[in-house]
Structure 1
Amino acid sequence: MVKWAKRAGWTTLGVTLTAMVVLASWEPFFAEQPGPPPPARHYSAEITRDTFGVPHIHGTTDADTAFGTAFAHAEDDFATLQDVVAMTRGRYGAIAGKDGAGVDFAYHWLGARQTARSQMNTLSPEVRSVLDGYASGLNRYAALHPGEVKLARLFPVNGEDVATGFVLRLPFFFGLDRVLAPLSEGKPLLPEHGAALVPTKTAALGEPFGEDLVPARPMPLPMGADASMSGSNAFAISPKRSGDNTTRLLSNSHQPYRGGVAWYELAIDSDQGTHFAGATFPGSPFPFLGHNETLGWTNTVNRPDMIDVYKLEVDAGAQHYKLDGQWRPLEQARIWLPVKFGPFTLPIPRTVWRSAHGPALVTPRGTFAVRYAGIDSVKSIEQYYRLNKARDFGEWSAAMALQGVPATNFIYADKAGTIAYVYNAAMPDRKAGPDWRGVLPGTDSSLIWQGPIPYASYPKVINPASGFVFNSNNTPLLAAGPGSELDPAKIPAIWGVELDMTNRARRAVKLLSEAGPITRERLLTIKFDTGYERAGYVAWMLDGVAKLDLRNEPGLQKAQALLASWDLTADGKGGADALAVMVLEEAMSRSYSLKPLPDPKTELAKAAAHLTKYFGRIDPPLGDLIRIRQGEVDLPDDGGGDTLRAATSWDVSPDGRLSIKHGDSFIMLIEWGPDGKVRSESIQPYGAATTRPASPHYADQAPLFVAHRFKPVWFTREDVAKHGTSHEVVTN
């Protein structure tokens, strides 16, 4: 009996050990495997790094520069690039655990791989060669540095993988995650997402916009919001308004400082005619904003209605759904999500569904299908490539007319003095009549729209009389100065265009509309402005705190009095700045996402308690509270969540300081003077090598960033040769 017990014990131990080995090693073998590498060809790129480590990449062809772009980016941040590759294979959960598994579910649910595979031949041969060149650059770096590879069998990658990354990520920039999450969790959809705001009257320029508001359509947040405000600022000034006959474009994106949508600065120079300086995201073979010799553009997030939800009528077991009176099979597929827990990666089963409307979810509340702008398309890749190649406003407009990029405002300027604002959004071409504001019936195929409205219908402002265009994530109705506003009657309600104003927009339009030339110095003063207007959520919160009866709470009464003395700036010079920035943070976030504003007393108490706990006072200098931190660099910052100098969201450090993680990120000032030559400057919060602590460029831009200063962008080949500090030639 003892012998049999021992044998059973050893058997159990063996089974347990076997299970542990399987759980620790199954994923690379059962996960989606790499496809064939790109077609064999020779690539060669020169990578010259300037004094700040920014790579300047030269190649004979655009494909060569894409090869060099991937290799240079991998030298600086191979860790994040691998995360992006894992996302394009449904394997991110094997790296990031539960959070990564959510991305993997979206990958399968969207059918990102299937879309890329079926649509690759719609891309031009030039674009496909660029995608293959970029993939080859990643493969080359991985082959030379196998010790840095996070997951077995992740490489080689090919052009289809790169295209899949575009398909996967673009819908989340206009809020698909904020629809998918409540649907998948069985939560009510409309209350979860708040409502858009439609004014009952039009406000004059510079006034608080939309004081009388009524609820309209749900408006989800864009990707990268980090449960806070995501946005950007952009300004273009015409030569006639600049004071020195210079065209200026100021790009001021607000993105996370780390991760898959953190900016990476570069310059590319191809003998095929592509010469562009700007910034890109991990996984892209070309810049997404910046300039060439003759023109430039930048982006800000916009929030039109790009998503429709349909409730399907299904049979028992949700095997079929009814459409136009006929029962159709509800397509379904079993998927396995790899989820890392400690040393083990567990396979978690899930099911994804699809109807004629788009991807679907079977939930306790019913079966829902979702249709969104840009569904089943890879045209965004072609459009970005053509934008990089454009040489004048006509060519740039032709690239915009491809309508591949489903959302984001574009602000444009060029050597000829043209400035423009385009409310870019591939808004669904819906028929009038149905209630597109709610959940639609899934039984009527006439509600399944097939494409966007024409590009000619997009709201635009070109060369306004005011001499400037701007956007700070506000309504497109206010994109320029007095007399240049867009007509609300020409923007149909069915588009779901946002009509609200951010504090940044209120400040920008006020400062830009003042008399006199908008010189370089004045433009930079506006960009780094830390002021608040007492309007919207700011007024609501400040008035709410002022009305509190705190006679029996002396600690909060002291905080109330301090806030009442605030000068409405976050410049770090006033004693109330730190308290005010913390009190307004939650209200700012909720206002932008169009959710109910928080309780003023709760926010005042939270802020006062935090400051007292960590600083022993409620009036520490703002720079002691909000910090730019990277490695051993620890510097004071200024600005607030919704100021033109943006410090949008933060992590609370163990010492109570707020380490900024989202806000002013890549900033670029571009100028064409009377001589017609382009000049530019830029800055980032950290440096070129954000995940390489041993690099001198891990955080070398931080001192300039906190001082509101820029570094030069070396654009011409002569300047690159003069200011280059390292040079390498990479080949495969």
Structure 2
Amino acid sequence: MPRWFTALFWTSIAVAAVVVGLASWDAILSSPPAADPVRPRAVKITRDEWGVPHINGKTDADVAYGIAMAQAQDDFRNLEETLAAVRGRAGAILGEGGAKLDFAGHLLDATEVGEKGYATLSPATRALVEAYAQGLNDYARQNSQEVRLQGLFPVNGRDIVVGFALRSPFFFGLDRPLSALIDGKLPPRDAGPADERGSNAFAVAGQRSADGVTRLIVNSHQPWEGPVTWWELVVHSDEGWDFAGANFPGAPYPLLGHNKHLGWANTVNRPDLIDVYKLVLDESGDRYRYDGQWRDLESRRVWLRVKFGPLVLPIPRTIYRSVHGPVIKNDLGAFAIRYAGIGDVRQVEQYYRLNKARDFAEWQAIMAMQAIPGTNFVYADAKGHIGMFYNALFPARAAGFDWKGVLPGDTSKLVWQSYLPFAGNPHVIDPPAGWVANSNNTPFLSTAPANQLKRSDFPVEMGIETYVTNRAQRYQARFAGLGNQQISRDQLLSIKFDKGYDRTGWAGRWWTEVLALDTKGRPDLGQAQDLIRRWDFTLDCNGPADGLVALAFAQHARFAYLQKPVPNARAGLEEAVALFKTHFGRLDVPLGDFQRLRRGKVDLPMCGGPDALRAVIGTPADDGRRVGNNGDGYMMLIEWAADGTVRTNSVHHFGAAASRPQSPHYADQAPLFAREAWKEVKF
């Protein structure tokens, strides 16, 4: 996904992990300048031996202030860039790419949406985001030498809310139709991400576990660097907020993880939550027809301030809007876009409430707010309940229309105004099989086959995804292989770190196509073909074909996940053979030699591959290696014993210090991550 869309998801904030061991930051941390009436904050930040901050405050707002201060110490650069996007000034710091981000913010009217929505939030939530903003301002004031964009600070709680308004629609794929329309093309018919945004999540109930322990695995896939990489934290307040997990820069609380009673993992889903309408314009192009009448097409001029070398120049653009939503004009006409959650910012409220939920009933009631318009939730708790919730804000669409195509924009019959209730979403709760899982696949593969939901029970207008990832095929096969036996901790972890590929899926089709290639006159391709013929359909670093396969089918895996026509297998094989001959002088390159985890001075082998449950996605390096930059990242293993006590382990792909190379915590967890090991979370 383009950086200017990726950065939309979250306002970025930062944290520095230069403190070693259990060094404490005891204090009433400093208050803003005298002109700012916000009171001082009673907060204590203690970092463990991995640099992970444990933030204790008298109130929840005090904790939010501490989160901002801690996070800003680790990653101020991403913070400043994404806050600039919230303020419509990304172009002034990032150039042309940032200007595109500013344009998108204007198009979605994010600032006005955030301003209007701010009043709908509870006093407690407003206090939280204001305290978080105060922490950002204090850090910027105390470390002014790091500030690159003058006048960006101070920010306020409304800016944090605007960040949520910006990120939500892009998380479920608004970038795909928007990018197409801006490029003068029709939008794609399928919903979903524009790049490989994956995740895994697993829950096993105590009644199915060999030792009676209920387990939840959090395994969200995100870029390993940048404004949407995970950052770990543990929070406690005297108001009863206790939570261990991770967030993205800009969120004033953890976005996934657990409290004492319950927890959840998230995976990206791809329901059809976006509709595109073609408007009928009059000859002037300034009015559109709607229910037999002509309406004025709203328009306003905005100025994008774009950095060109040492200069920042103003570039004018016109923003259009109709009753449907934002409008893009191109050579094909004028197209309006309407998406789930349009105009709603209560997502910032819902996540906060979920953090403090005490039992399954309360958690489900909060989920029924439907303020988080998309993303699956895999749930588990101390009472042994588990569930997979295909969470999406489904528009209440009229039957009988092609909702995947471009719709006529001249009738109100197709402009939905409400949503289906949360209770009608696909979900599996406490199935007899005792396990649930999701790996960015259709919700009709959430547990054992005998306990599955039926696709026919849900209207086609909901636009529920049908795609099945290799990862889903693998966990189905692995759980099925256990039969009716109890599931041990080691067996569950073996499933999570599985590196296999299903022969009936895209990998099997690729393999068959490669073996059918005519390699006469190309002995090097024939040698590659012979290697691949003996491949055991795993990328576990043990087979002589693993490295070649991982490189040759990478694009195939990516296009299959994006549901695009897969590239020619011969071209991928030829490219892989040429690279291996150039850089290694051989084709049977061990996967661990080819695929690396690199961070600072750390350079380690990585096993696994694209769309494996041990997911590794990478980019080519100058020495011919592939360096991981996405896939498996921050992970948690949460375990509730039969008596309700919770134990947690986690691991980050790099470390707590997100963008501070001088910190000892810049890459100290990378060796753990590479060897699939864990560290204890001191909750």
Q: Report the TM-score range of the alignment, normalised by the length of the smaller protein.
A: over 0.9
Normalising by structure 2, we get a TM-score of 0.93
Query: Per-residue CA shift, 1:95-116, capped at 9, x if unaligned?
Result: 2222222211111100000000
Matches within 5 A, 1:280-429: 280-429=247-396
Query: Per-residue CA shift, 1:70-128, capped at 9, x if unaligned?
Result: 00000111111112211101111222222222211111100000000011111101000
Matched residue type, 2:564: K
Q: Post-superposition shift, 1:220?
A: 3.6
> What does residue 16 of structure 1 align with?
none
Matched residue type, 1:219: A
d(CA) in 2 for partners of 1:429, 1:579: 48
> What does residue 531 of structure 1 align with?
500
Matches within 5 A, 1:76-115: 76-115=74-113
What SS does the corresponding residue of 2:443 show, helix, strand or coil?
Answer: coil
Q: Post-superposition shift, 1:684?
A: 0.9
> What does residue 676 of structure 2 align with?
708
> What does residue 448 of structure 1 align with?
415
What SS does the corresponding residue of 1:665 show, helix, strand or coil?
Answer: coil
> What does residue 177 of structure 2 align with?
179
Q: Post-superposition shift, 1:316?
A: 3.0
- Aligned equivalent of 1:564, options 521, 533, 536: 533
d(CA) in 2 for partners of 1:589, 1:346: 38
> What does residue 14 of structure 1 align with?
none
Matches within 5 A, 1:115-514: 115-189=113-187, 193=188, 217-221=189-193, 225=195, 229-513=196-480, 514=482
Contact residue 38 and residue 159 of structure 1 kept, 8 A: no
What SS does the corresponding residue of 1:571 show, helix, strand or coil?
Answer: coil
Q: Post-superposition shift, 1:343?
A: 2.2
> What does residue 640 of structure 2 align with?
672
Q: 1:262 to 1:442 in 2, by over 3 A?
A: same
Contact residue 231 and residue 658 of structure 2 kept, 8 A: no
Q: Which has the larger radius of gyration?
A: 1
Matched, 1:694 2:666: no
- Aligned equivalent of 1:50, options 48, 51, 55: 48
> What does residue 28 of structure 1 align with?
none
Query: Per-residue CA shift, 1:414-460, capped at 9, x if unaligned?
Result: 00000011000001111112221211111101211112210110111
Contact residue 308 and residue 439 of structure 1 kept, 8 A: yes
> What does residue 662 of structure 1 align with?
630
What SS does the corresponding residue of 2:217 show, helix, strand or coil?
Answer: strand
Q: Post-superposition shift, 1:143?
A: 0.6
d(CA) in 2 for partners of 1:542, 1:342: 48
d(CA) in 2 for partners of 1:571, 1:331: 57
d(CA) in 2 for partners of 1:346, 1:69: 35
Query: Per-residue CA shift, 1:187-244, capped at 9, x if unaligned?
Result: 132xxx3xxxxxxxxxxxxxxxxxxxxxxx422415xx3xxx2110000000111111
d(CA) in 1 for partners of 2:246, 2:192: 26
Contact residue 192 and residue 271 of structure 2 kept, 8 A: no
Matched residue type, 1:545: V
Q: Post-superposition shift, 1:519?
A: 1.0
Contact residue 502 and residue 592 of structure 1 kept, 8 A: yes
d(CA) in 2 for partners of 1:344, 1:561: 57
Contact residue 571 and residue 638 of structure 1 kept, 8 A: yes
d(CA) in 2 for partners of 1:502, 1:447: 32
d(CA) in 1 for partners of 2:494, 2:667: 25
Contact residue 249 and residue 670 of structure 1 kept, 8 A: yes
Q: How many residues align?
A: 648
Query: Per-residue CA shift, 1:628-682, capped at 9, x if unaligned?
Result: 111111111110001110102x221111111111010110000001231111000
> What does residue 610 of structure 2 align with?
641
d(CA) in 2 for partners of 1:615, 1:37: 63
Contact residue 219 and residue 593 of structure 1 kept, 8 A: no
d(CA) in 1 for partners of 2:58, 2:343: 33
Q: Post-superposition shift, 1:482?
A: 3.0
**Structure 1 runs not aligned, ≥5 long:** 1-35, 194-216, 716-732
Contact residue 38 and residue 158 of structure 1 kept, 8 A: no
Q: Which deviates further from its counterpart, 337-346 or 66-75?
A: 337-346
Matched residue type, 2:321: R
Query: Per-residue CA shift, 1:135-172, capped at 9, x if unaligned?
Result: 00000100100000120001000000000100101111
d(CA) in 2 for partners of 1:42, 1:326: 57
d(CA) in 2 for partners of 1:628, 1:52: 19
Contact residue 385 and residue 430 of structure 2 kept, 8 A: yes
Q: 1:275 to 1:333 in 2, by over 3 A?
A: same
Q: Post-superposition shift, 1:42?
A: 2.5
Contact residue 479 and residue 485 of structure 1 kept, 8 A: yes
What SS does the corresponding residue of 2:648 show, helix, strand or coil?
Answer: strand
Contact residue 272 and residue 404 of structure 2 kept, 8 A: no
Query: Per-residue CA shift, 1:452-505, capped at 9, x if unaligned?
Result: 210110111000000000001111001011321001111211111111211111
d(CA) in 2 for partners of 1:639, 1:652: 16
Q: Which deviates further from its counterpart, 51-60 or 446-455?
A: 446-455
**Structure 2 runs not aligned, ≥5 long:** 1-33
Q: Post-superposition shift, 1:39?
A: 5.3
d(CA) in 2 for partners of 1:635, 1:341: 38
d(CA) in 2 for partners of 1:256, 1:298: 17
Query: Per-residue CA shift, 1:510-557, capped at 9, x if unaligned?
Result: 111222221111111111111111122112111111111111111111
Matched residue type, 1:409: N
Matched residue type, 2:659: T
Matched, 1:682 2:650: yes
What SS does the corresponding residue of 1:446 show, helix, strand or coil?
Answer: helix
Query: Per-residue CA shift, 1:672-726, capped at 9, x if unaligned?
Result: 01231111000011000021011000000000000100011001xxxxxxxxxxx
Contact residue 192 and residue 269 of structure 2 kept, 8 A: no
d(CA) in 2 for partners of 1:116, 1:474: 32
Contact residue 631 and residue 693 of structure 1 kept, 8 A: yes
Contact residue 179 and residue 220 of structure 1 kept, 8 A: no
Normalising by structure 1, we get a TM-score of 0.87
Q: Post-superposition shift, 1:319?
A: 1.2
d(CA) in 1 for partners of 2:650, 2:373: 27
Q: Post-superposition shift, 1:613?
A: 1.4
- Aligned equivalent of 2:550, options 567, 570, 581: 581
d(CA) in 2 for partners of 1:400, 1:510: 31
Task: Give structure 1 regions of 4+ aligned residues with deviation exceeding 3 angstroms.
Answer: 36-39
d(CA) in 1 for partners of 2:284, 2:594: 55
What SS does the corresponding residue of 2:632 show, helix, strand or coil?
Answer: strand
Contact residue 275 and residue 338 of structure 2 kept, 8 A: yes
Q: Post-superposition shift, 1:394?
A: 0.7
d(CA) in 2 for partners of 1:429, 1:509: 32
Contact residue 309 and residue 369 of structure 1 kept, 8 A: yes
d(CA) in 1 for partners of 2:666, 2:627: 16
Matched residue type, 2:316: P
Q: Post-superposition shift, 1:250?
A: 0.4
d(CA) in 2 for partners of 1:337, 1:661: 31
Contact residue 408 and residue 425 of structure 1 kept, 8 A: yes
Contact residue 233 and residue 253 of structure 1 kept, 8 A: yes
What SS does the corresponding residue of 1:477 show, helix, strand or coil?
Answer: helix
